[in-house]
Amino acid sequence: MPTSSLKRSLALSKVYGLLEPGPVVLLTTSHKGAANVMTLSWHTMMEFEPPLVGCVVSENDFSFAALNATGQCALNIPTVELAAQVVGCGNASGVRVDKLAKFGLTQVPAGLVEAPLIAECYANLECRVVDTRLRSRYNFFVLEVVKAWADPSIKAPRTLHHRGYGLFMVAGETIKLTSKMR
Amino acid sequence: MPTSSLKRSLALSKVYGLLEPGPVVLLTTSHKGAANVMTLSWHTMMEFEPPLVGCVVSENDFSFAALNATGQCALNIPTVELAAQVVGCGNASGVRVDKLAKFGLTQVPAGLVEAPLIAECYANLECRVVDTRLRSRYNFFVLEVVKAWADPSIKAPRTLHHRGYGLFMVAGETIKLTSKMR
């Protein structure tokens, strides 16, 4: 990350707190010199630390080939200010369009993977593919988050949560209850 | 479902819209005459129709044995009114406590599985385990939703989204954008 960014490295043990609420993410890849981005909601945490994330990237998505070939990607977490870009990326294919350029998303080099990070997203997770046993059947990849970045000034990110057909729930208030649950 | 319930059968093609935003769910099982419930946030859609859901049920959870033995469960989706019960179920073990009784959750017989449905939840998904290839490595189960119920009067459910250590984001407003994405 450039020094001008507000983002700081985030402990890997805290990554689950970013993904567990179920936000839409922007998955970026880099393959044969071309970066691409897709919109993704089908993901789940699978382990706390090192953080493992399972996700479905359809073989119909242009990103599928890049993810397969490179074994690397980044998960970038947008907030509601990026809603138009999130929908735009979900409705265009990287086969025909340089989506990062078209939607004005700024690429920042990652630390450990080739896939670019999206500067406008409040958090970025650098990932490597670690298990493909369910890929052929379900297009399901298990990713390990190897490096994480987040803007510490954003305490209650107004993340987007896809409900289908253009509807997105926007993260509301946060409540606190007494709990032993991590 | 009893005729007094407001819930109606939901088309399986619409199930993804309930789970894709990432709500905390209550997973119920029934095994050897005993019903149990656990709180679960690590789940993802894997296919639209028939709806497939991947989820992590830890081998440390009492529900793991029931899910393994019966291959059946229900995913019950609570709203913020049930926050105390959600946390309670997440902090107690079914080994020692009848959690459904302790937290005043009403069991309703399901149509196609033995696991009970929770009446107080606004939606209920009856599930069968269809793939256990990632169970031994990640405690990951692939479920098929075989029957779904939802209260059609609840258009914008105030679902809970776990952020860790007692913090829950409560579903906020829904926005609509023009999108071709299902």
Residue of A41, A34, A142 lying closest to A93 (CA atoms): A34
Q: What is the pLDDT of residue B155?
A: 92
Q: Which residue among B47, B134, B169 places its CB closest to the CB of A174?
A: B169
Cβ contacts of A13 on chain B, cutoff 8 Å:
none
Q: Which residues of A79-105 are buried (b: 16+ CB within 10 A; e: fewer)?
A: bbebbebbbbbbebebeeeebbeebeb
Rg (alpha carbons) of chain B, rounded to whole number: 15
CB atoms within 10 A of CB B153: 9
What's the CA gap between A172 and A180, in Å, rounded?
23
Q: Angle A36-B54-A52 (CA atoms, 0-180°, nearest 5)?
A: 60
Walking along chain A (182 residues) 10 residues at a time, the average pLDDT comes out as 72 97 98 95 98 96 96 98 96 89 96 98 98 97 98 96 96 95 88
Q: Which of B41, B166, B177 sits opposite A176 (nearest CB)?
A: B166
Please give the Cα distance from A153 to A88 (Å, whole number): 27
Strand A25-31, strand A72-77: pairing: antiparallel
Instruction: Indicate the average pLDDT of chain B.
Output: 95
| Residue-level pLDDT at B94 | 85
B11 to chain A: which residues are within 8 Å by CB? none
State residue A181's pLDDT score: 86
CA nearest to B181 within chain A: A165
The answer to whether the Cα torsion of A131, A132, A134, A138 is positive or negative is: positive
What are phi and psi for residue A24, nearest 5 degrees?
-60, 140
| CA–CA distance, B129 with B123 (Å, rounded to integer) | 19
Q: Which of A72, A80, A86, A181 is nearest to B42 (CA)?
A: A181
CA–CA separation, A99 vs B128, rounded Å?
39
Q: Identify the pLDDT of residue A2.
A: 45
Q: Which residue in A51, A90, A20, A88 sits closest to B21, CA to CA?
A: A20
Specify the pLDDT at position B96: 83
Which stretch of A87-91, B91-95, B122-126, B153-157 has the lowest confidence by average pLDDT? B91-95
Confidence at residue B2, expressed as pLDDT on a 0 to 100 scale: 45
pLDDT digits (tens, 9 = 90+) for B7-28: 999 999 999 999 999 999 999 9
Interface test with B, best of A161, A174, A176 (most B CBs within 10 A): A161
Residues of A with CB below 8 A from B103's CB? Answer: none
Q: What is the pLDDT of residues B79-91, one digit of tens each?
A: 999 999 999 999 9
- pLDDT at residue B5 in the model: 67
Q: What's the rounded Cα separation, in Å, for the pair A154 and B101?
A: 39
Report the pLDDT value the prediction gives residue A3, as an integer from 0 to 100.
Answer: 43
Q: What are the residues facing B75 on neighbouring strands?
A: B27, B125
Say if the Cβ atoms of B138 and A46 lie within 8 Å.
Answer: yes
Cα A132 to Cα A141: distance, rounded to the nearest angstrom: 5
**Which residue among B16, B87, B133 places its CB closest to the CB of A134?**
B133
